[in-house]
């Protein structure tokens, strides 16, 4: 969907303040089994640094947040297919679980929320944003290969997430601003969401006609939201979110969204590994030999260790609990991404593998006992023969 030129820059005369901010595109990739302990100092010649979560809101006194390496790239100019030019900024984060994220920021200034729908599928003159990011991510993967343990041969489809970051609220369309102000400071974010719930849902669902959505879908899409101060808001859905205000903590909120996407892409990757392992195990069970049984046991043992490691590391990168603002944001994202369901499915498949592992061990034990019993009988017969000869 192309963004029309009359929607890129708002005509603010007579309409109050426009919506200003930036659209942040997050792409998560599985790139390796693991990342080596040696720090990644550069990514495509750009220096890296530790990402630190800032104390913009109340957080646990003992901060134990995971610190990925991040590299920021210089702004680049792009031209849309309608002739409008804009500036994009890219950054890359490397996670110890063998994953990376590519973040792209694009500024916007529009009159209405509906005008942001076109940003879901941003198109440049030569290609779309998604194609450009895929090529960029592949070059990063190749550059990071020396730091990777068992790197993937090529990148799979990214887990993409689009975040609409609105700097401030211009008011409620069709209503007097004063009716929704609080303490003279402006529009209260929760009241704004109530008045614009249908438009917000349409933006999150990539629907141009907000009136076509059912009330049930509107409530479902906007049901998971958080507000800390009166003027900030975070509404999360399956593949997009809207963040209002949060200027002092915007990077941290986006970081939490990156973490949730990393967890999703890693869980999906290990689900594929488990599917392949189960298929191989079922086939090998039908044609067991001493050599194949030994090989199967080794493979299953390694896979169980891998799954224990990934489960531990995925938990460590979001090691914060309680009712802290960022923790609640992650909890909402985990609910939207069905991370609990992914973990449950992987747990069930792991238990199935454990069952196969136990069956193989039992079969191997039974075979050993059979050989032992036969050996004892043979020794007894030999002993009787020796006595008879004497």
Residue 2 CA to its chain's centroid (Å):
26
* Token pair belonging to 78: 């792009």
> Taking Cα atoms as reference points, which of 61, 48, 28, 67 lies closest to residue 162?
28
Find, among 30, 269, 39, the residue nearest to 147 by Cα: 39
pLDDT at residue 278, rounded to an integer:
81
Collapse the DSSP code of 336 into the 3-class scheme (helix H, G, I; strand E, B; otherwise coil) and give the result: helix
Highest mean pLDDT among 169-183, 289-303, 316-330, 347-361: 347-361
Q: Which conformational region is residue 341 in: left (phi greater than 0), alpha (psi within -120 to 50 degrees), or beta?
A: alpha
**Alpha helix stretches (DSSP H) within the chain:** 5-8, 129-144, 189-195, 197-205, 215-222, 250-285, 290-316, 325-337, 339-389
Residue 46 has pLDDT above 60, yes or no: yes
* DSSP 8-state class, residue 224: S
- Torsion angle of the four alpha carbons 294, 295, 299, 301, in this order, in degrees rounded to the nearest 10: 10
Coil, strand or helix at 226: strand
In tens, the pLDDT along 11-26 reads: 333 344 578 999 999 9
pLDDT at residue 51 above 70? yes
Does residue 143 carry a pLDDT above 90? yes
Q: How far apart are CA 10 and CA 266, in angstroms?
A: 40
- Phi-psi label, residue 338: left if phi above 0, alpha if psi -120 to 50, beta otherwise: left
Q: How far apart are CA 29 and CA 94, in angstroms?
A: 10
Q: Report the candidate in 251, 231, 259 with the shortest Cα–Cα distance to residue 331.
A: 259
Give residue for tokens 């008045």: 195
pTM: 0.81
Predicted confidence (pLDDT) per residue in 78-125, tens digit: 988 888 888 999 999 999 888 999 999 999 988 888 999 999 988 888
**Tokens read off for 244:** 């209002």
Determine the 3-state secondary structure of 324 from DSSP: coil
**Weakest mean pLDDT among 84-98, 251-265, 354-368:** 354-368
Of the pLDDT bands very low, low, confident and very high (cuts 50, 70, 90), residue 43 is very high
Q: Residue 54, SS3?
A: coil
pLDDT at residue number 314: 66
Coil vs helix vs strand at 94: strand
pLDDT at 129: 92
What pairs with residue 187 in β-bridges?
A: 181
Confidence bin at 374 (pLDDT 50/70/90): confident
């Amino acid at each position: 969907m192309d963004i029309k030129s009359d929607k890129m820059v708002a005509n603010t005369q007579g309409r109050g303040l426009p919506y200003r901010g930036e659209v942040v595109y997050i792409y998560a990739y599985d790139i390796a089994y693991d990342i080596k302990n040696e720090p990644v100092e550069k990514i495509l010649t750009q220096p890296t640094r530790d990402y630190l979560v800032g104390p913009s809101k109340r957080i646990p006194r003992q901060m134990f947040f995971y610190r990925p390496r991040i590299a920021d790239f210089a702004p680049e100019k792009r031209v849309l297919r309608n002739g409008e030019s804009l500036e994009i900024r890219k950054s890359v984060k490397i996670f110890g679980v063998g994953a990376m994220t590519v973040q792209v920021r694009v500024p916007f200034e529009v009159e209405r929320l509906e005008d942001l729908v076109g940003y879901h599928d941003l198109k440049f003159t030569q290609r779309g944003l998604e194609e450009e990011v895929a090529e960029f991510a592949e070059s990063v993967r190749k550059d990071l290969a020396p730091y990777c343990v068992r790197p993937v041969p090529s990148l799979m489809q990214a887990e993409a997430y689009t975040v609409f970051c609105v700097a401030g609220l211009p008011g409620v369309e069709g209503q007097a601003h004063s009716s929704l102000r609080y303490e003279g400071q402006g529009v209260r974010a929760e009241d704004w969401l109530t008045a614009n719930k249908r438009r917000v849902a349409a933006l999150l669902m990539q629907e141009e006609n907000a009136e076509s959505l059912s009330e049930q879908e509107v409530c479902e899409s906007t049901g998971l939201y958080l507000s800390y101060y009166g003027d900030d808001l975070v509404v999360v859905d399956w593949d997009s979110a809207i963040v209002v205000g949060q200027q002092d903590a915007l990077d941290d909120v986006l970081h939490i969204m990156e973490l949730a996407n990393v967890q999703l892409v890693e869980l999906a990757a290990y689900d594929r590994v488990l599917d392949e392992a189960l298929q191989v195990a079922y086939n090998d069970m039908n044609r067991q030999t001493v050599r194949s049984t030994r090989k199967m046991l080794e493979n299953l043992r390694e896979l169980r260790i891998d799954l224990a490691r990934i489960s531990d590391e995925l938990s460590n990168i979001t090691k914060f609990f309680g009712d802290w603002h960022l923790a609640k944001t992650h909890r909402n994202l985990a609910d939207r991404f069905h991370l609990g369901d992914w973990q449950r499915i992987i747990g069930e498949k792991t238990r199935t593998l454990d069952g196969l592992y136990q069956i193989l061990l039992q079969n191997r034990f039974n075979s050993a006992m059979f050989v032992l019993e036969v050996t004892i009988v043979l020794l007894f017969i030999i002993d009787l023969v020796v006595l008879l000869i004497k």
